[in-house]
Chains A and B, each alone.
Chain A
Amino acid sequence: MLPLPEFTLHSPRTIDEALGLLAKPGAMIIAGGTDLLPNMKQGLHQPEHVVSLQHLAELRAIRVEQKVLVLGAMTSLAEVAEHEDVRKYATALAEAAGTVGGPHHRRMGTLGGNLCLDTRCRYYNQSQFWRSALGFCLKKDGEVCHVVEGGKKCVAAASNDTAAAAIALEAVLVIRGAQGVRRVAAGEFFVADGARNIAIARDELLVALEVPRVAKRVSAYEKLRRRGAIDFPLLSVAVRLDGSAVEVVVSALAAKPRRINGAQKLAATQVEAIAEAAARECNPMPNIDGDVAWRKQMVRVMVKRALVRAIGAAQPST
């Protein structure tokens, strides 16, 4: 039995009301609860106020506009995965959402929640008792990093499937705060700090993800994990093709998803060279499951798989 710590639950009916509640000290957002609640049960967060977005229906829609696809932050991952327009215009995102957790998690979990997922590390996602035995760590309650000796910056891994896809698809996050609306490119939203790898203030609210609709654009997502369901990614790979231009993003390496620089100079058909560049640039940290050497080798394989599928999708069907 893992009881939750005590808190007050708020269920605002408007975004402004939600923003007001989020300004309270120690307030946290609950969307689907599939990440927040297990973490709270392990004593990783003790929010005094929990603000539920359950009744903000306006955050729960998928809209196809002329130039963008607008996905409300409270859209369930199952809906993102199955939605016809998302599958068509943002294939990598639909595929990524479809691999999050198990079917129950996808029904409960939301796109916004997955984008803002807490980073993971084998020294962090443990019980209070377990962590106390090691004197805690950089990410929570402690001063030392058990992953990087002498490390001063947390390297907990971005473990959200949708992050790599959102970056590869040049998506933009729409964020509401007390000052109004701001837009941040997904590529700039994630930062290299495992303690908090998202560039959003605690009193701000992610309201939507805008994915540009570009003619003839194709994308694909590949995930490495030990079993076909429930697991977090050991590697998360998203690729995007615009004609011969290619973008490759690899995540679950460390706190920040990595755009493969070497790929940007290559043509999409140079599959081997792109996979090679990715393998050279990616160095997985040893703080999540799976052998590091194996994960590094699999970068090449997963990038290749994603590219081959995307290239296949780009071919006019005969």
Chain B
Amino acid sequence: MTLIPITLTINGDLTQVAVHASQTLLEVLRYELRLIGTKQGCDKGDCGACTVLLDGEPVLGCLTLALSCAGRSVTTVESIPRADPLLESFDCHGAGQCGFCTPGMLMTAKGLLAKEKKPSRDSIRAAISGNLCRCTGYGPIVEAIAAVGEGTVQPATEEKLPPPLPSYGAPRK
């Protein structure tokens, strides 16, 4: 197996990483760059847990070859700041329960909100129809995204923020 060096932009940082042809973007994010926020669910394109933005468009990391991302821009859930209206909205609406689908939901929502400032509930439902959630039943998730579009949530203030997550190793630059 040959390692092939590629350069891509990950969450705004130009990143160099050596990958195998058979590695998916998801595997490189999680196992090479230790960006474990993106979840590995079904690993065959059924669940949407691995959703990341590729050049701004929500795609499935498990079905994207890492080599095909050379020179492109990848945005993962780690790009979302701790104080963010979308995170606060998910929190307030109880839109995350076990949390496994949440990174995928957040990235799909980010992709949608970048295109539509105030998406309708139908358009939200259509956008997240490729992301499976087995806990909350989608209602709270749709409401949480809609609230951001309607501007009824503010990002959490510093004193309300939960402590930062333990670090699993900084991404290689």
Contacts and interface: CB of A to CB of B under 8 A. Distances in A.
Interface of A: 1-9, 11, 30, 33-34, 37-38, 41-42, 50, 52, 54, 101-105, 107-108, 228-230
A102 B21 contact: no
B130 A1 contact: no
A107 B64 CA distance: 12
A107 B58 contact: yes
A4 B45 contact: no
Contacts of A42: 44
Contact of B127 (A4, A6, A33, A103): A103
Contact of B129 (A50, A107, A229): A229
Residue in B23, B24, B27 with the greatest tally of chain A CB atoms within 10 Å: B24
13 contacts: A5-B22, A6-B20, A33-B63, A38-B44, A50-B21, A52-B68, A101-B45, A104-B130, A105-B60, A107-B59, A230-B46, A230-B129, A230-B130
Nearest to A40: B22
Contacts of A228: 129
A30 B64 CA distance: 11
A34 B63 contact: yes
B169 to A, nearest CB: 20
Given A2-B43, A104-B51, A54 B20 contact: no
Contacts of A30: 65
Contacts, number: 83
A1 B65 contact: no
Contacts of A108: 59-60, 63-64
Nearest to A227: B129
A8 B4 CA distance: 11
A37 B130 contact: no
Given A1-B43, A6-B22, 17 more contacts: A2-B44, A4-B22, A5-B22, A6-B21, A33-B65, A33-B68, A37-B45, A37-B62, A37-B63, A41-B43, A41-B44, A52-B68, A103-B127, A104-B60, A104-B130, A108-B63, A108-B64
Interface string B5-34: 000000000000000111110010000000
A33 B130 contact: no
Secondary structure at the A interface, as helix, strand, loop or mixed, is loop
**In the A-B complex, the 3 residue pairs with the closest CB atoms:** A102-B130, A229-B129, A38-B44
B126 interface: yes
Given A2-B44, A30-B65, A105 B130 contact: yes
B49 to A, nearest CB: 11
B58 to A, nearest CB: 6
Secondary structure at the B interface, as helix, strand, loop or mixed, is mixed
B21 A229 contact: no
A179 to B, nearest CB: 30
A54 B126 CA distance: 27
A19 B129 CA distance: 37
A291 B22 CA distance: 37
Contacts of B127: 103
Interface string B86-97: 000000000000
Given A30-B65, A103-B130, A104-B130, A7 B45 contact: no
A9 to B, nearest CB: 4
Interface string B30-50: 000000000010011110100
B67 interface: yes
Given A34-B63, A104-B59, A230-B129, A54 B68 contact: yes
A93 B45 CA distance: 23
B130 A229 contact: yes
Contacts of B23: 4
Contacts of B20: 6
B129 A3 contact: no
A103 B130 CA distance: 6
Contact of B40 (A1, A5, A52, A230): A1
Given A34-B45, A102-B129, A102-B130, A6 B1 contact: yes
Nearest to B132: A230
Nearest to A107: B57
B53 to A, nearest CB: 11
A238 B20 CA distance: 42
A54 B71 CA distance: 13
Contacts of A54: 68
